[in-house]
Amino acid sequence: MSDALGAERSQLYSLYHAMGIYENQRATNASKRVVNLTRSSYAGQQRFSTITWNGDTHATWKSFAQMIPAGLNFMATGCPYWSIDIGAFFVKKGPQWFWKGDYDKGVDDMGYRELYTRMFQFGAFLPVFRSHGTDTPREVWRFGKPGEPFYDSLISMLHLRYRMLPYIYSLAGKVYCESYTMTRALSFDFSSDAGVADLKDEFMFGPSFLVAPVTNPMYFTTNSTPLENADKSRRVYLPLGADWIDFWTGTALKGGQWVKADATIDKIPLFVRQGAIIPMGPVMQYTSEKKGGEWEIRIYPGANGSFTVYEDEGDNYKYEQGSYSTYRLDWNDKQNTLTISDRNGTFPGMPTSRKLRLVKVGKGSGVGIIETTKEQCIEYNGRKLVVKL
């Protein structure tokens, strides 16, 4: 490459490689969106539908902890789609210097199951959620059976990821329309709070979720050795400039303080900004299973807020010609009122109406992953609605 482009331009290899894939795939099949998973990157490469992952990592807690700031720094460059090999690529120790995982027994080691589960929880709040690697199986059923903690935690995170798809896909629309970044260092949203300047293990997922992954073992070390009396919590800083609600309990908390968050294996410390509006779909096995399904609209009271829902066909490039729809949700906290705007735009196959279950979150209401079924349900057909909760 240096001979072809010259030494000063040799680093452009990744950009040109991505461009070649993108332009030729689009020319070959215009009805399918290009997806290019690559480990190399260059400034501006995001225009060519690249997803960058962090390379062939090894399964250690230290390596996992380093992935979080690495990803936040990478996505801050303007490349919005970043991912990891959940569970790390190399799990065991090998003859090469880079093959240095801590778990020679692979998935049979309870210590690896714990690390994998914590990485899985982190991965659920990345733009691209994927498990991959060598050395050991990764299927969910390899980590136990129903009723066992690691298996149950993995299933719960899968359900939460699919439930969040209306929120995530709307953020993807925001990436395209507004050059947005989904997974964000806290300084993006709370630049006036000096307390977030050097936080390496917390981040925002979109405008609403504050995510605090667990990066140390609490149950097992290597070779399935139990940890005795390990604390099952972690300290989380809640930024100043917003107040917060615990996703799992509905407890309201002030910003600008450190809190001790429950971090048992079945949950990742997760907080939602007051004023947030989060559209959540049903549990699904694949993304297009329930296209017109009922949504749950969770409203996190305590402040005014808004969220714009984005929808399109889910494939092809017709959105570039305006073939998509949006509508805005606005919460007035003082008046206890949700306003849903007229729908703007249309696309082939667009649901003409959708049932929306409106849930005002509080202790015991609209918490955790399980769908809330007893709250107010309305039919939205694209015309403006004002609903008093």
The answer to whether residue 323 is domain-embedded is yes
Per-residue model confidence (pLDDT) at position 202: 99
The pTM of the full predicted model, rounded to 2 decimals, is 0.96
| Residue where a domain stops, chosen among 19, 38, 53 | 53
Per-residue model confidence (pLDDT) at position 374: 81
The answer to whether residue 46 is domain-embedded is yes
> Beta-carbon neighbour count of residue 220 at 10 Å?
18
Terminal CA-CA length for the chain: 62
125 Cα distance to chain centroid: 2
Q: Is 189 helix (H, G, I), strand (E, B) or coil?
A: helix
The answer to whether residue 133 is domain-embedded is no
Per-residue model confidence (pLDDT) at position 6: 65
Q: Which residues constitute the domain of residue 12?
A: 1-53
180 Cα distance to chain centroid: 14
Per-residue model confidence (pLDDT) at position 32: 95
pLDDT truncated to tens, each residue of the chain (389 aa)?
A: 556 566 667 788 899 999 999 999 999 998 999 999 999 999 999 999 999 999 999 999 999 999 999 999 999 999 999 999 999 999 999 888 888 999 999 999 999 999 999 999 999 999 999 999 999 999 999 999 999 999 999 999 999 999 999 999 999 999 999 999 999 999 999 999 999 999 999 999 999 999 999 999 999 999 999 999 999 999 999 999 999 999 999 999 999 999 999 999 999 999 999 999 999 999 999 998 998 889 999 999 999 999 999 999 999 999 999 999 999 999 999 999 999 999 999 999 999 999 999 999 999 899 999 999 888 999 999 999 999 99
Per-residue model confidence (pLDDT) at position 45: 94
Per-residue model confidence (pLDDT) at position 7: 66
Distances (CA, A) of 383 to 308, 328, 351: 15, 11, 13
Amino acid at 263: A
The answer to whether residue 115 is domain-embedded is no
Number of domains in the chain: 2
The answer to whether residue 328 is domain-embedded is yes
| Residue where a domain stops, chosen among 53, 71, 95 | 53
Task: Label residues 98-137 b or e (16+ Cβ within 10 Å = b).
Answer: ebebbbbebbebbbbbbbbbbbbbbbbbbbbbebebbbbe
Query: Smallest Cα–Cα separation from 130: which of 78, 190, 88, 175?
Result: 88
Q: In this structure, are residues 157 and 131 in contact, taking their beta carbons and an 8 Å threshold?
A: no
Burial of 349 (0-12, 13-18, 19+ CB in 10 A): exposed
Per-residue model confidence (pLDDT) at position 10: 74
- What is the domain-level CATH number for residue 301? 2.60.40.1180
